Amino acid sequence: EAGVAQSPRYKIIEKRQSVAFWCNPISGHATLYWYQQILGQGPKLLIQFQNNGVVDDSQLPKDRFSAERLKGVDSTLKIQPAKLEDSAVYLCASSPRGAGEVNTEAFFGQGTRLTVV
Amino acid sequence: AQSVTQLGSHVSVSEGALVLLRCNYSSSVPPYLFWYVQYPNQGLQLLLKYTTGATLVKGINGFEAEFKKSETSFHLTKPSAHMSDAAEYFCAVSRSGTYKYIFGTGTRLKVLA
């Protein structure tokens, strides 16, 4: 079974530029998460999708971050414009069941390390 | 609201010694609890999980954890540390597995030869 795929692995951009990350979850997984992991901290949820609908985006800085999950499969996370404090690892994860159902594990991708200079 | 506290951002143990990583949680509903491990430049890998049933759970690589409701704890242990255990460990809580996973700040384990 293929795992969660993310690309790119690394990205360096200047502040005020835009950037996009891509995630392909495990086939058939209904729930998809984007987490932000700042150096020295635990992952923080940015947005959670069930299929192609948003379940929770309460911690997504909507003035600069956006995310979509077209057709309920792969997802993109965009930052525009980037700030220095956006430097972090962006982790995508997926779980097999939808919101309201029991998920006993989230499967994580390797992440995209973003450096904003 | 749910939260997780990991005591000790850095823990060092000698090879062959007991590993004890501490995790306390706060949850108003029965929690699902997880330990994940993260190796450098890698994603998170599930070590073990508590959902319901037996409170002592065994995971991969010889790790285990015990859910203690009275102490709101879910500490991770391994009887004998190996050099390959050096990594960062994250405790996480989920509201009965139906909602988002909330992570602690992590504990970096160093294993000394």
Give the least confident one: A11-15, A69-73, B8-12. Answer: A69-73
Q: CB of B89 within 8 A of CB of B109?
A: yes
Chain A residue with minimum CA distance to B51: A104
Question: In what helix (H) or strand (E) does residue A49 lie, and over which residues does it extend?
Answer: strand A44-50
Chain A, 66 to 95: residues with Cβ < 8 Å from chain B are 91, 93
Please tell me which of the candidates B43, B97, B104 has its beta carbon nearest to residue A109: B43
| Chain A nearest CA to B92, separation (Å) | 9
Give the C-alpha distances (Å, rounded to integers) separating A14 from A19, A76, A85, A99.
Answer: 10, 20, 12, 37
Residue A28 touches partner B, C-beta closer than 8 Å: no
Asked if residue B9 has pLDDT above 90, the reply is yes
Residue B107 touches partner A, C-beta closer than 8 Å: no
Closest by CA to A113, choosing from A7, A8, A10, A4, is A10
Q: CB of B33 within 8 A of CB of B93?
A: yes
Give SS3 for A91.
strand
Q: CB of A103 within 8 A of CB of B96?
A: no
Chain A residue with minimum CA distance to B41: A110
Residue B87 touches partner A, C-beta closer than 8 Å: no
| Chain B nearest CA to A91, separation (Å) | 7
Residue A96: its pLDDT value, please? Answer: 86
Which has more pLDDT, A60 or A102? A60
| Chain A nearest CA to B48, separation (Å) | 9
Please tell me which of the candidates A4, A45, A113 has its beta carbon nearest to residue B100: A45
Q: CB of B36 within 8 A of CB of B21?
A: no
Please tell me which of the candidates B43, B96, B104 has its beta carbon nearest to residue A91: B43
Q: pLDDT of B48-83, one tens digit each? A: 999 888 889 999 999 999 999 999 999 999 999 999
Residue B96: its pLDDT value, please? Answer: 63
Sign of CA dihedral A40, A43, A45, A46: positive
Rounded-to-integer distance, Cα A67 and Cα A33, Å? 10
Residue B94 touches partner A, C-beta closer than 8 Å: yes
Beta strands B107-112 and B10-14, pairing class:
parallel
Asked if residue A16 has pLDDT above 80, the reply is yes
Residue B85: its pLDDT value, please? Answer: 96
Residue B43 touches partner A, C-beta closer than 8 Å: yes
Centroid of chain to Cα A25: 10
Mention every residue, 6+ apart, whose C-beta is less than 8 A from residue B56: B64, B65, B66, B67
| Chain B nearest CA to A111, separation (Å) | 6
